[in-house]
Structure 1
Amino acid sequence: MSSPRDEAVEPGSDTVGPSTSSSSQSDATGGSIISVTIGATVPTGFEHTAAEEVKEKIGVDARISKDRGRIYFPITTDKLYQVHLLRSVDNLFVVVEEYDHYQFKESKEETLTELQQLASKLPWTDTLEVWKLNRTLKKKKGHRKGGNAAKVKPNSDASDAVAADAEQHELPQVSSTAEDQTTVESVPDLETCEQDSQEAAPEAKVIKFRVTCNRAGDKHSFSSNEAARDFGGAVQEFFQWKADMTKFDIEVLLNIHNEEVVIGIALTEESLHRRNISHFGPTTLRSTLCYGMLRLCKPQESDIILDPMCGTGAIPLEGAIEFNSSFYIAGDNNDMAVNRTVNNICHFQKRRADKGSPSGLPIDTVRWDLCSLPIRTSSVDIIITDMPFGKRMGSKKKNWDLYPSCLREMARVCRPSSGKAVLLTQDKKCFSKAISRMGGLWRKLHTVWVNVGGLHAGVYLLKRTAAVFGQTPEDVHESRGMVEMQGDKKDDQEVS
């Protein structure tokens, strides 16, 4: 008798047009190399940066999803380990099936019934094999913590519930009103009997699972909870798995963005953005966001890179690990922040030493006043930092004095003509005003809009101009006028 997994080979329903997500081929040794599509969640705004890294390190083209913060790319299972080495991705999952234009029914009941029927028609075989292979590649760190699901007070039957927990993968929030309304409110219950599963006591270990639904769009007749509940119930019935919100083995993902539907199986136990940090602070940045900021400035060999407001040292630590041919200086005016940075560096070095790897990092830590840096003029190649938003740290009122002062000091230590700065801030109005008061010392090259803890922030790539530090705006205006006058005089001479 064939298993449900063997029977589930037909994609989708007749009303939708699925795109193929996996295939397999035999290799010369008689084994099987499976081709699948990998999905990855990335910091919003840095999708193109993540796609560039995939092309550079894995050699395949990544497709950027319509739903911000996700990319998709094909791989073969012999390259699965390389996927976990990517620095720009938060979470990874293998795609079971994806639909670009899923035709939802008009009524809620019909739509949920169709989702239930869909579970038994999906091509689960290859993706479950990839999930098994993935478990052998990574050391098992125990069960997942379960995100917000652990905070929910379930009913008596809730141990057989599936959680539509949008924050387990810490997906970026989307700014539209319609999408904000789809926030999952509670953990739904399935009409299953926990006692039956406990009394059965099978010899083989029963696989535990949960379904996470992430939904965005204003034209759906159902909620995230309802989709997770009904789809999860059908998955449970099909595979005879046991649903568990927190101590699950498999997490099935149901991602819905308007008409785009993607079903996947998670490959990461927890977000990869915490990889370097052991001592957190109130403004600790994701390592994946730090990596995106570093790639913007393209560090070169022997560059001196400065973070004058390092916080917990997330940016220079990520740089020292990934772009280790440059030298990093991390500083802050807060003793606690400097201590956290030192502790994070020591923790990472100890972890390396325990694995037998060289523990040295090209990074140093200093306590200083960021408006009066103990650094020589024009000696820094790149400045990259997370400026205070005025939310969790500082205040917007203080930023009006702080931003101009630190931008001027950054301009002093940065190399004219070649120096760059990558600055993150949510206080966009204050930042723009401060740049305009710099007398042409900085020029904006590019801006990436990102989501940081629910706040819409900007990552600004600036170039240090050739303007002489210390000039007032009037001096700059006068010098420009002299250049224009000399140019006009030269043109007149050539005409005569």
Structure 2
Amino acid sequence: MVNIGNEASQIRYFCTAGYGMEQFVIDEVTKKLAAHDIERLQGKVLFSSSAHISLVKELKSAERLFLLMKRDSPLKLSAHANPARVASVLKSTLIGDLQSWTSAEVTWRRLQGVVGDKKKEESKCEEQRKVEEENVCGEDNEGDIPIMKKRRMMDCEDEYVYTGDDQDKTRPQANRHCSGPLSFRISCKCSGSVSRHLSVQEVSKVLGTSLSGQLGWKVDLRNPQIEITVYLRDDHCLLGIPLTRLPLANRRYIKTTGLRSTVAWAMGELAQIQSGSLVLDPMCGVGTILIEAAQEHKLACFLGLDIDDRQLHKASENVAFAELRDRMHFLKASSTHMPLPNASVDTVVCDLPFGKKFGTKTDMAASLPLILAEMERVLRVGGSLVLLLSPQLSCLLKKLLTPPQTGTQEAANQEGVQDVTSTPTQGKEPSIGLMTESCLPLSSLKHQTSLRLSLGTIDGLLHKYIKTHA
């Protein structure tokens, strides 16, 4: 059930997300925040919610969280517009309505705890004053009571300001009041026609000068109270205020990072882990996928296998750091020879290593049939298998799990599978036909879905299968 905070009115947010992760964000804000008016853009999700800000900041699938200040159509610029004209259109579009800026400032201050309930603050001051008076009287210092009263009243006038620390908590700072002008800086990302007329530095300067002149805000590039983020594209304009200093993807409960935490979380969600389940990662690395799943599914147990002692050591440190030792264990074992009984695992999740960091693609391609056979063996009937692979390994997986058919459309007939074979790749790959010629299809694994996700400089394919029979 969604916990509605003091800010009971609906607040408009937007999140950034990696390519392919947008639907996970939509599902999460709908489920956890009772969000509505959801709009999906490439790499971003806009939504409204009255959930408490502490819940909004706990989103697992999003990269960054913003208070939405303005959502506008793209700037209309002619091909021959001069810089002065572009600057004028920019100011008119983004800062034309000053009321929206002051309203956004009030909402931002409230979300950060800057403006609190006055009665609560007055009550707090009264309690502090009584404590001081009692302490003074107890020490027979009655003559100092007026001085103590005055000092406590002055202390209570200090406002709370957002300091942007790792935990995003507010700290009291003397001599900085809500009534004073904000210090700010602008972060701008441009693409398309706007970037051909003005650089991001010029856009930031135009907006910064206008805000300083019209709102009295002061530019501070090093330690501002507030940051304005601007996204200018040919399909939309967005202005927002970041609500956390660090990205949401930076998990406070993970010591050593491995796979991107948002993608690791998505793998656990796609697996649909049930209470009481045993979840296996046969190539666990530092344990990121299991830790993300364990944070979300409190009544499941988790087991990680790996053949690298260093990875297992880091995984153990991560588990201890996340305080999950009672539900998560690790074993040194090969993914091609797992020390587990048949049909003993409810869910298998695995990021199969690929790329230069983890050895050659040829090695993984040669091992994939054996790894799949072991995963299928230990998985119980009805259990789910979720794999993250490169586009090249995805082609091999598709061939391994496709029953022999006649005709040229055998691969295309697999229901629900996206076409990943047509993706251009760099470098030469080993011949899939030679590697899989003698491999029998693992027909007990039925395909459910495939998704393409951005992993930064490369893409990955996320696949889900269900084991249908022994």
TM-score normalised by length of structure 2: 0.71
Deviations 1:388-413 (A, max 9, x none): 12232121121221222211111111
Match of 1:461 among 448, 460, 464: 464
Residues 4-57 of structure 1 deviation map (CA, whole Å, 9 limit, x = unaligned)? xxxxxxxxxxxxxxxxxxxxxxxxxxx985433110112321222221221112
Shift of 1:268: 1.3
Note the C-alpha offset of 1:142.
Answer: 5.0
Equivalent pair of 2:38/2:48 in contact (CA under 8 Å): no
Structure 1 residue 131 and structure 2 residue 104: aligned? no
What is the identity, as a one-letter code, of the residue corresponding to 1:429? C
| Contact 1:53-1:86 within 8 A present in 2 as well | yes
- Matched residues in 1 for 2:205 and 2:350: separation? 43
Query: Which residue number in structure 1 is paired with residue 61 of structure 2?
Result: 88
Q: 2:247 matched to which residue of 1?
A: 271
| Equivalent residue for 2:386, pick from 422, 447, 451 | 422
Cα deviation, 1:443-470, whole Å, max 9, x if unaligned, reads 321111110022111111112232x5xx
1:57: which partner in 2? 32
How is 1:94-493 mapped onto 2 (pairs within 5 angstroms)? 94-106=67-79, 107-109=81-83, 110-117=85-92, 118-122=94-98, 123-136=100-113, 142=164, 207-217=182-192, 221-222=196-197, 223-276=199-252, 278-280=254-256, 284-349=258-323, 361-416=326-381, 418-426=382-390, 427=392, 428-436=394-402, 437-439=439-441, 440-466=443-469, 468=470
| Number of equivalenced pairs | 367
In structure 1, what is the Cα distance between the partners aligned to 2:161 and 2:369? 48
- For 1:208 and 1:360, how far apart are their aligned partners in 2? 44
The 1:253/1:140 distance shift into structure 2, 3 A limit, reads: closer
Select the structure of larger CA radius of gyration: 2
SS at match of 1:403: helix
The 3-state SS of whatever aligns with 1:459 is strand
Deviates more, 1:382-391 or 1:433-442: 433-442
Asked whether 1:79 is paired with 2:52, we answer yes
Distance (Å, rounded) in 1 between the aligned partners of 2:164 and 2:238: 27
Distance in 2 (alpha carbons) for counterparts of 1:386 and 1:336: 17
| 2:147 corresponding residue in structure 1 | none
1:121 Cα deviation after fit:
2.6
One-letter amino acid matched to 1:241: W
The equivalent residue for 1:41 is: 16
C-alpha separation in 1, matches of 2:110 and 2:287 = 35
RMSD: 2.9
Q: Is the 8 A contact 2:16 2:45 kept in 1?
A: yes
Please list every run of 5 or more consecutive structure 1 residues that lacks an aligned counterpart in the other structure. 1-30, 145-200, 350-358, 469-496
Instruction: Write the distance in 2 (CA, Å) between the matches of 1:252 and 1:136.
Output: 18
Q: Relative to 1, partners in 2 of residues 1:309 and 1:64: Cα closer, same or farther, differing over 3 Å?
A: farther
> Could you list the per-position Cα deviations for residues 344-387 of structure 1 after superposition, in whole angstroms to 9, with x for gaps in the alignment?
111122xxxxxxxxx66521122211111111111111111111
- Looking at structure 1, the residues matched to 322 and 226 of structure 2 have their Cα atoms a distance apart, in angstroms, of 30
**Large movers: runs of 4+ above 4 Å:** 31-34, 137-144, 201-206
| Correspondence for 2:142 | none
Aligned partner of 2:76: which letter? Q
Structure 2 unaligned runs (5+)?
A: 1-5, 115-159, 167-174, 403-438
Which range moved further: 449-458 or 52-61? 52-61
AA in 2 matched with 1:267: L
What is the Cα deviation at residue 305 of structure 1?
0.8
